[in-house]
Structure 1
Amino acid sequence: MASFVLKPQHIVIGCVIALSSLCVFFIYYKPDIDFPLAGFCNRAPTEMVQCVQGNDTQSQSPTLVSKQHGDQHYNNNNIIQDADVGKNDIIVLIWMWPFGFQFELSCRELNIQGCHLTDDKALYANAHVVIFHHRDIHGDLSNMPKEPRPWFQKWVWFNMESPANLGRIPQLNDLFNLTSNYRLDSTIPVPYLAVVPVTRVDRTFKIPAKDKLVCWIVSNWNPAAKRVQFYTELKKHINIEPYGGAFDRHINDEEFLAILPSCKFYLSFENSIYTDYITEKLANPMVVGTVPVVLGPPRKNYEAHVPGDSFIHVEDFETPKELADRLHFLDQNHSEYMRYFDWRQNFEVKRIEFGHYAACETCVYVQRHRNYQAFKGLDKWYWG
């Protein structure tokens, strides 16, 4: 029996045959296994659709729809065409204008980019976030969206009123993803004012001439309110110039702007006392150059918002008479009075246009927080 001798040419021929077989195998074989995604995709919802679907490169964003939701727009000029929405823009839908007041649908003034603000409810199914103003929500939720909430969409509860001036709606307790409110512990805090560094122009601010000692402008009069009781006692010891509907001395905006700077002190008395509820009653006098005398949350809470030497707190005194004595002293001692303006060398107060600010800051928040969130227990958190 002849022995077989393996020659080099036999090895070459064998390799060629094996390689040919493998090529045929991979051409015609379709594996049933999908390889896992390379990692978690921390992207905007419009991008996450592509990430989650993996192989579907056609679905880079939710399909734009033009389904109209019954309610009319406050301003048809604000209806935004689909082409205006940037590929990576966060779409912020203002479902209802706060108290009906409209604001600029752009965040450029705040140096915020990548945001598409709109009141066009036709973009509901496409919006990354929808803002709802509590005071404008119907008790039966009849003016809330009828369509299901898209999986990527966040709902924001927005409100700037204190719990004492706001009615509960039980159906909202576990409805929202985020909160936007004057409280610093809300998801997106929106204060009534901001203390910001001054520019060279701001440093030239001059304290206006004063011809009134203490002023108060108020329309909401409740004899049981702490501020009314304090005022009633304080006026026994110092002259106070009262204005507003509560005193049948109605003033218009022009008169308001003339009166406020002419007062040495202004009673910045809040209508209810809650943490962080520090409103335009403080901001207005600080902007125009009048020293605010505050009644509201404790001093430490005020100092979380404005410099501690920029205001006088009623709780710094045992009685209204002691406060009156201090105001009389400051009236007679100009240098001591002027110390309440030392902070203006470095800072100024800006009033916040809270509807616009909330919308833009909400956009920034969603840009930075792509993860799922839910806010449970609104009633307990806000009303206690």
Structure 2
Amino acid sequence: MILIRGMKFWVSCILAALFFLLVTLQVFVELGRFEKQKMKSSLLQDTKKYKQSRPVTTYTEEHNVDKMFDRGMGKYPIMLWWSPLTGENGRFGQCGRDTCFFTINRTYLEHQMTRAVLFYGTDFNIDSLPLPRQSYHEWALFHEESPKNNYKLFHPPAITIFNHTATFSQHSHLPLTSQYLENLESLKSLQYLVSIENKNILRRRIAPVVYVQSDCDPPSDRDTFVEELMKYVAVDSYGECLHNRDLPEQVNNPSYMDDAQFYRILARYKFILAFENAVCDDYITEKLWRPLKLGVVPVYYGAPNIMAWLPSNKSAIVVDKNASPKKIADYIKQLDSNDTLYMEYIGWKLQGHISNNILTRALRDRKWGVQDILQENYIDAFECMVCNRVWNNMHQEEKGLPTNQWKAEPSHLNCPGPEPFPFLSKLTLKTSMRDMWKPSFEQSKKEAKALRILVDRNKNFTNQEFWNLVFKSIGE
């Protein structure tokens, strides 16, 4: 009898683990789908537009690789996009004085001139990795997105398998922290600014606060906070999350989020709820920059170090983890009824004065542009960073000198685990798919360790081997 009970116990444990795995994977697929499609579409559009502005030599799969390199092109190192982010079968790119061949064609992996393998973080998966990894193969990671799109990469065992990084962290080799901000002029612009007098008139028929989100219940738990906030102050919510007001039909589509008509709708409001989907240092998206560009005060929740990036010390209402929705609502209502206090948050814009030297320096020193055809975009800059580093080491080898050993650090992609807001007790928290983010994050630590073990073995592995290691560590 004891033996039978023991077997039932272990069978139930295995079934529970499998169920947890399936639910976790479904969470990543379903809740990450909207943002992944939006970001990837934006990346591809930018890449296509910017690459059209500069001369390149493109080759298709019909060209014979060996013949092409026999014609004197074999001296150029190959940069292989393992994730087909750029969609280019072959292109010679000029990076200053250095030339590299960029391709998504995986048959190049075995070529003697392949020096770097490039990965897009959201598409990085364990069932297809370029193993065994040659000693001269450097791995480079491009990942500008939220941690929810691939949690395992946000732990030291996983991020440190790469040599080169371009992430939203200011500590990465190519920081993308300002990826959603075109320039300082866009912040200073008064193009969409609505005067306080007109905003007060508009207040007769619209709420003081607007919220536009269609990616609901993300790891930051923003919808819980906003739902509670709405009990104390009026909020017009146009997105799918907490929806209570409709956008005009002509702009009621995610593709119109940067449309002038949509901007004019938002600019009428006094406050915009700018809540990120994840809480990480330096993870700052258009949710913050958009209201600042429109002349609306953002009520911001997200990057804990946001004060280091704001245009002035008084340009946003910053919400922290322990904030009370009622107190935030009371403060919003106070500013709404007092033009003098409200205008203190707009003064920097009216004066055209950005006092933050960190922000100014970051935009000045970055080696790429946003929506600027005269500059490389950040994908080009990432490619060229890796290309230049590869060439530098090749020159060092020719001279018999030591080469640079590039390696990613844990700080290049690091976020704390998701936590719900503490203003509600656990007993009153509603149950939803968002409750899976915390256990998913915890499991991703095991996945990162398993990935590191298998990559260090330096040979191909199966999904079963990977998950066996994951569940073995869970049981320990």
TM exceeds 0.5? Answer: yes
The 5 Å alignment of 1:48-67 reads none
User: When you count helix as a share of all residues, which structure comes out higher?
Assistant: 2
**Are positions 1:252 and 2:253 aligned together?**
yes
Cα deviation per residue 1:340-364 (whole Å; 9 max; x = unaligned)?
Answer: 5257445698758654453344445
Cα deviation per residue 1:44-95 (whole Å; 9 max; x = unaligned)?
Answer: xxxxxxxxxxxxxxxxxxxxxxxxxxxxxxx976999857998987654322
2:165 matched residue in structure 1: 179
**Are positions 1:94 and 2:88 aligned together?**
no
Shift of 1:184: 2.0
Shift of 1:233: 2.2
Shift of 1:313: 0.4
Which SS does the other structure have where 1:168 is aligned?
helix
Choose which of 306, 309, 332 in structure 2 pairs with 1:305.
Answer: 309
1:179 and 1:255, CA in 2 relative to 1: closer, same or farther beyond 3 A?
Answer: closer
Amino acid at match of 1:226: D
Given that 2:187 and 2:292 are in contact with CA atoms closer than 8 Å, whether structure 1 keeps it comes out as no
2:117 matched residue in structure 1: 130
The 5 Å alignment of 1:182-331 reads 182-193=168-179, 198=184, 205-209=190-194, 211=202, 213-222=208-217, 226-247=221-242, 251-253=252-254, 255-256=256-257, 257=259, 258=262, 259-298=265-304, 301-308=305-312, 309-315=314-320, 319-331=324-336
Give ranges in structure 2 of 5+ residues lacking alignment: 1-57, 355-359, 364-368, 372-376, 394-402, 417-444, 446-476
1:155 matched residue in structure 2: 139
1:154 and 1:305, CA in 2 relative to 1: closer, same or farther beyond 3 A?
Answer: farther
Shift of 1:112: 5.8
Shift of 1:129: 2.6
Q: Matches of 1:374 and 1:338 in 2, distance apart? A: 43
1:371 matched residue in structure 2: 404
Q: Matches of 1:344 and 1:377 in 2, distance apart? A: 38
Structure 1 length-normalised TM: 0.60
User: When you count strand as a share of all residues, which structure comes out higher?
Assistant: 1
1:138 and 1:313, CA in 2 relative to 1: closer, same or farther beyond 3 A?
Answer: same
Given that 2:187 and 2:349 are in contact with CA atoms closer than 8 Å, whether structure 1 keeps it comes out as no
Shift of 1:162: 3.7
1:335 and 1:175, CA in 2 relative to 1: closer, same or farther beyond 3 A?
Answer: closer
Q: Matches of 1:237 and 1:208 in 2, distance apart? A: 27
Q: Matches of 1:287 and 1:88 in 2, distance apart? A: 47
Amino acid at match of 2:142: F
1:344 and 1:193, CA in 2 relative to 1: closer, same or farther beyond 3 A?
Answer: farther
1:135 and 1:198, CA in 2 relative to 1: closer, same or farther beyond 3 A?
Answer: closer
Report % sequence identity: 25
1:185 and 1:329, CA in 2 relative to 1: closer, same or farther beyond 3 A?
Answer: same
Given that 1:107 and 1:113 are in contact with CA atoms closer than 8 Å, whether structure 2 keeps it comes out as no
Structure 2 length-normalised TM: 0.50
Give ranges in structure 1 of 5+ residues lacking alignment: 1-74
Q: Matches of 2:405 and 2:256 in 1, distance apart? A: 49
Shift of 1:245: 2.1
Given that 2:181 and 2:286 are in contact with CA atoms closer than 8 Å, whether structure 1 keeps it comes out as no
Shift of 1:371: 1.0
Q: State the structure with more CA Rg.
A: 1
Cα deviation per residue 1:325-382 (whole Å; 9 max; x = unaligned)?
Answer: 3333444416434215257445698758654453344445556675123448799966
Cα deviation per residue 1:33-53 (whole Å; 9 max; x = unaligned)?
Answer: xxxxxxxxxxxxxxxxxxxxx
Q: Matches of 1:85 and 1:202 in 2, distance apart? A: 48
Amino acid at match of 2:117: V
Shift of 1:280: 2.7
1:173 and 1:237, CA in 2 relative to 1: closer, same or farther beyond 3 A?
Answer: closer
Q: Matches of 1:97 and 1:311 in 2, distance apart? A: 38
Cα deviation per residue 1:278-336 (whole Å; 9 max; x = unaligned)?
Answer: 223223333444332211132xx113333243322023995333333333344441643
Given that 1:314 and 1:320 are in contact with CA atoms closer than 8 Å, whether structure 2 keeps it comes out as no
Q: Number of residue pairs matched?
A: 301
1:222 and 1:175, CA in 2 relative to 1: closer, same or farther beyond 3 A?
Answer: same
Shift of 1:131: 1.2
Amino acid at match of 2:241: A
Instruction: Using CA pairs under 8 Å that are at least 6 residues apart, name the structure with larger relative contact order, 1 or 2.
Output: 2
